[in-house]
Amino acid sequence: MEYTAKDYTRLILTAGFSETMLKNHFTLYQGYVTNTNKLFATLAQMLKEGKAANPEFAELKRRLGWEFNGMRLHEYYFDNLGGNTPFNTDGILGKKLIENFGSIAVWEQDFRATGSMRGIGWAVLYHDSTDGRLINFWVNEHDVSHPAGCTPLLVMDVFEHAYMLDYGLKRADYIESFLKYIDWKKVEARFK
């Protein structure tokens, strides 16, 4: 079964995100989908041919984490972007954020700080399925730093391709736009 790139053209009119930047981002995402499919096919063929014990198989298997997570993280990102309704702080997610961080403002301050850290990566609000805690994590590369047993709820891409074309080095301005246009219904649905 092959993965198919999802259509996110609905985001093209989102304020703060130029059409050119979004289309470039969609093309990058489609590359992750294509490479994920290629890796699955190549690995299956190598396994069929009895080549699973060689270094090429091992390296491709490692690369699969990069491509697959690049695909999936972009899907989470695009899915939770493009909203225009305010966050319901009285909903179950709002109450849980207040319980874990003390207030929505403190959670947002922590999320902004996470996304503003030097380097490339992702800022992700995770739900720890073991104890129910909500935690903002920095995910460095697509395949590094994912907390085991946690579900991503809100995903923000902070690789340069997500903002440089429109914002240059002003990542804080990009984060501001991102936070204005979160689709909170999608984020809350992931929490349920």
Question: Which residue type occupies 81?
Answer: L
Give the mean model confidence (pLDDT) for residues 134-141: 95
In the structure, what pLDDT confidence band is assigned to residue 4 with cuts at 50, 70 and 90?
very high
- Angle formed by the axes of helices 55-79 and 19-48, nearest 10°: 150
Least confident of 54-58, 120-124, 142-146: 142-146
In the structure, what pLDDT confidence band is assigned to residue 168 with cuts at 50, 70 and 90?
very high
Give the mean model confidence (pLDDT) for residues 168-179: 97
Backbone angles phi, psi at 58, to 5 degrees: -60, -45
pTM of the model: 0.95
Please tell me what DSSP assigns to residue 153.
Answer: E
Q: Which residues contact 13 (CB under 8 A, 6 or more apart)?
A: none
Give the pLDDT confidence of 20-76 residue by residue, as tens digits: 999 999 999 999 999 999 999 999 999 999 999 999 999 999 999 999 999 999 999
In the structure, what pLDDT confidence band is assigned to residue 6 with cuts at 50, 70 and 90?
very high
- Angle formed by the axes of helices 92-101 and 104-115, nearest 10°: 80
Give the mean model confidence (pLDDT) for residues 79-87: 92
pLDDT at residue number 151: 97
Helix (H) or strand (E) holding 115: helix 104-115
pLDDT at residue number 150: 96
Average pLDDT along the chain: 96
Evaluate whether 20 touches 165 at the Cβ level (below 8 Å). yes
pLDDT at residue number 192: 80
pLDDT at residue number 145: 87
Share of the chain above pLDDT 70, in %: 100
Rounded CA gap, 82 and 163, in Å? Answer: 15
Rounded CA gap, 64 and 35, in Å? Answer: 8
> Hey, what are 146's tokens?
């994912």
Evaluate whether 95 touches 161 at the Cβ level (below 8 Å). no
pLDDT at residue number 125: 98
Q: What are the chain's domains? A: 18-79 (1.10.287), 92-191 (3.55.40.20)
